Chains A and B, each alone.
Chain A
Amino acid sequence: MTTRRSVMAVLALVGLGLSACTEAKDDGSAGGATTAAPASTAAPATSAAPDTTAAGGETTMAPETTAGPTTLPAPSGEPFVVGVVNTEGAPGLDFPDFTNAFKAAAEYANTELGGFGGRPVQLEICISQGSPESSQACAQDLAAKGVDLAMIGLDIFVDYPTFSAAGIPVIGAVPILPPDYSADAVYITAGNLVVQGSTANAITNPKYLGLKSVAIIANDAAATVSALASLEPALVKGGASVVVVKGGETETDAGYRSLMQQAAESNPEAIISLYGQAGCVALMRARVELGVTAPVFSNTACLADRVIEAVGDDAVGWYFAGSTGGVETDDSKTMRNYVAGVTGGTPEEVDPFGFTSLGWLEMLTVQRVAAGIGPDVTGLAIIDSFRSGTALLWGSDAPLECGSVASLPAVCSFAIPFAEYTADGAAPAFGGENISALDVLDV
């Protein structure tokens, strides 16, 4: 407990701690996957809401439908105070991209989008350090400051009871641990559960691939065990036979090759990798070296520039849950500009995917909802809007479905897009359709 910060913050956190931490990061990536990139937006100078989107666990490439006015009056009146909790500074748990994206999106909202319902948005940022104690302290701190709304970047120990008791609504990006799914909160993009369910559906449903034998390559971390608990039944429900090949949390290239080899031994029609970025390069290379032809499903962490640069065409035949293909859009250019303004770097240095885009998407989705409410916006009104099913993801026309599944009241997204890597690069898979997890999940 208290030791956790030293350790996690320091290091520690390894062993077990590490596993969960590492997975948390991976999960985040998966979620991040769902964010892909909200698409085009008017140029920074002209404002306006984004148009097309390929974002989130929800939408795809909707045509320009959500463009806002070209000029919005500057926000005025009492600031709308958003409390932000994000984890930074602990090895293995260091996500400054989220904080930067929140700051950039708030700046964008105040500069070009008329703030939150016409009121300027003000951030109160609290950095947790990967321990339950620091998360709880952040919740208490924000409660004491009387923020209107709490937004979670990446915090694996969100203190929901404190926020709830203080009457502060909570909005997060990606549910990570089991309590997140049933928390008194709203998570706007899909978490592990939905990513796994959608993947199972994409593989087994005759409408998509209709494959009936699957091998899963997974590490033996606690969070992955939890992911398997939802993935295996979903595959079975889809009519597939399943073989699980388990590796360690850290593997050598040879270790990953062995896992791919073991997975291929049962001649599966499809393979799912639950490894994050660390395993992507080695598994992609191993698949080619071993002559495996079955398609491999993974999350967007494996579509990162660094991975693709390392493997090149070895990525052909891989599917990436939650991504639409990574095409640069106007909105992602806007994001780069604003984030660069926060970090002091250049727009080219800003990663358009992953946590940066996730934070950007989260803040601007809330801004969009707030804009619909107007100057009377409150945290409760925003959360009610999400739960009423009328909220739209930033850059999308598809309504979020928060609370539509009783057993997962915090989850808003139950369908995600997929990207496929082809000889021409990453492209939308399955015709760009978002694939639902609900067909195969027992929820």
Chain B
Amino acid sequence: MSAYLAAAVAGIGAGAVSALLGLGLVLTARGSGVINFGFGALAGWCAYTYYDLRTNARYPLLVPGPWRDISFGEGVQMTVASAMAITLVTAALIGLISYLLVFRALRRAPVLAKVVASVGILLVLQGMIGVRFEGASVNLPKVLPSGVIELTDEILLAKDAMWLAVIAVVLATALWALSRYTRTGLAVRAASESEKGAVLLGFEPDRLALITWVLSALIAGIVGIIAAPLFELTPLLFTQLLIPALGAALIGRFISFGWTAAAGLGIGMVQAMASPLQQDLDWLPRTGVRDGFVFLAIVIAMVLLGKRLPTRGSIDQGRMPPVGSGAVNPPVAFGGVVLVAAGFLLLPDAWGLALLTSVLFCGLALSLTVLTGYMGQISLAQMAIAGIGGFSLSRLAERFGVPFPIAPLLAAAVAAVFGVLVGIPALRVRGVNLAIVTLAGGIAIQEFVFKNPDFVGDVTTGGAKVPAPTLFGWNLGLRSATDPYRPVFGVFVTVVVAVLALLVANVRRSSTGRRMLAVRSNERAAAGVAIGTAGTKLLAFGISSFVAGLAGCLIAYRFGSISDTSFGFFASLTLLAFAYLGGISSVSGAVLAGFLAADGIGFKLINTGWDKLGVDFGRWTVLVGAIGLVITAVQNPDGIAGAVRRVRQRRTRRRPAAAQASATA
């Protein structure tokens, strides 16, 4: 038992970090209804800023450009207080600007737009860390007292971890007291429960949201300064630490500071106990226990708690993007497919590969068209589902010799089953809460499945290989023994994705699609007209996961072998962001998403353009893409396809008016 206690006590530090990050997340969510996925990256930027100030007397500039930093002079030693003050002011400014420029404009936008914008902020901050610090791993000087307290011979409590836990508890208590006993705190609570009510009482939700953003940014700054020395600071450290913090905030239902802090501490301690538990219980899985069980537990808890999870009572919840008719214009559709296929045949290899990336991404985005566009369910596990498809294909084809095309269809079916399992929580939770639950489900899949050598292979098996698809002896693969690039694979992928697009469009026009839209619009009303909401939701998850699984198979065919690195949590986040950017509720939006995808044909065009100008865009590419993502999310909350649709509608309206005017004249 003492081993478990010792491990649990050792987990207090990590738990305290989760608690602090979770408190920041809850504060932002309460103030503005935004789950800020960029919160960890903000803490990371602050940690690096503090490091640069203290170590080099330099202030790194967050503004992109050739200017790198402001130096305070050679040999200057900045004091702890000065460095802290500058860092915290920076954090507050980032919070202020993020809200004023981005999230204020999205106040009445759909939840999805806010998720996408926060992903954009995350990418921008991480991109800037990459540009300014170039992947540096550093050790920050300790801010909190160091050393250990011997509780017993075996149980040692680190002083810095203890202080961090104390700070987390004090902060949670302070935030609770503020929200309960101060006028502003009560107003924030009121606004989170009923924004309309708060407005009627004379409060300004906008100002309240701004306050919470600045406060939470300050928390990020504090965490960056005091928690980073407990670890080795790497560019992704705090973004990684945000994942358990999201779990803590979820347990706190994004409203309770106390429960969030307790859950954060609890998660850290439970994770630390995984190791002795694994040694004592042989039957536990060898991999994934530490993180997998925590997130699995969160999923289960959320399913049980589901009905009690609140959603923000804003004045306007923001309507989901309008859905296209699903009508297919055969000449246009056929022409598009022929055009893309011709691209594979005519373009140089490098451009053909970029086009291939775009078409594959389009396939992945189509899965979200069904699930999020038609059904209104936000899933952050979509790439994990695609990975299930890819790994299942490897196992079926390599180990069991199942031939093409049966193997990919079976693999997609396996993905569909997993998708339905991930979707079960959707029966009880919705909106952004569902997004977080699916995130947890996706991580559980990663931990238990993608880390399992029995499933994904190891050195002795050469990893998860995938044989080239062959039909009646005809190689449809990307390469042959003598040809490094075969356009036929691109044509094959185009045809498959076109069929998927047709399937998705048909779903929209079918009674199934109408049921999905009815449930999306109003679950109670849909149930009132005898639509089975549960069955409809699970069907959407199933169809969507089948599409994602098939796209995962195509990805596996492309590379000839796959690894877990292609199907992580952030890949799911980015998929959702770019799918939304293109237009998540229509097939044309998925096509646009493919065009915009990283490494896709759009990126290739941009990079080539810069190359022509003699500019090495290099590591700026993703940063600029992320800034574009944020701008587009703010300017076109319905995605680019929505903007295009609006323009077309405007023109259509003008034409009769113009005709009438000329007739009158």
Contacts and interface: CB of A to CB of B under 8 A. Distances in A.
A438 interface: no
B350 A14 contact: no
Nearest to B485: A140
Given A2-B598, A3-B578, A277-B137, A249 B564 contact: no
B279 A12 contact: no
A5 B599 contact: yes
A428 interface: no
Contact of B288 (A8, A93, A220, A253): A220
Contacts of A177: 463, 563
B353 A258 contact: no
A17 interface: yes
Given A1-B364, A6-B626, A92-B234, A255 B272 contact: yes
Interface stretch (B3-11, B109-117, B316-324, B648-656): B3-11
A134 B356 CA distance: 12
Contact of B568 (A10, A14, A139): A14
A265 B461 CA distance: 34
B13 interface: yes
Contacts of A18: 236, 240, 568
A179 B462 contact: yes
A interface: dominant SS: helix
Interface residues of B, number: 118
A184 B564 CA distance: 22
B290 interface: yes
A157 interface: yes
B622 A10 contact: yes
Contacts of B457: 178
A183 B72 CA distance: 51
A90 interface: yes
A246 B274 contact: yes
Interface residues of A, number: 93
A127 B568 contact: no
A141 interface: yes
6 contacts: A5-B599, A11-B123, A144-B350, A220-B291, A230-B458, A257-B158
Contact of A137 (B354, B386, B572): B354
Of B41, B570, B621, most buried by chain A (CB within 10 Å of CB) is B570
A243 interface: yes
B597 A7 contact: no
Interface string A171-194: 000000111011000000000110
A423 interface: no
B127 interface: yes
Interface in B483-526: 483-485
A258 B564 contact: no
Given A4-B571, A6-B574, A181-B462, A281 B271 contact: no
B interface: dominant SS: helix
A229 B460 contact: yes
Interface in A241-263: 243-255, 257-259, 261-262
A182 B463 CA distance: 10
Nearest to B349: A140
B559 interface: yes
B56 interface: no
Interface in B509-557: 555
A137 B243 contact: no
B160 interface: yes
Contacts of B350: 137, 140-141, 144
A310 B146 CA distance: 15
Contact of B348 (A144, A164, A245): A144
B466 to A, nearest CB: 11
Nearest to A132: B559
Contact of B127 (A11, A13, A20): A11
B459 A229 contact: yes
A359 interface: no
Given A15-B569, A20-B565, A165-B484, A1 B621 contact: no
Contact of A2 (B12, B276, B600): B600
A7 B570 contact: yes
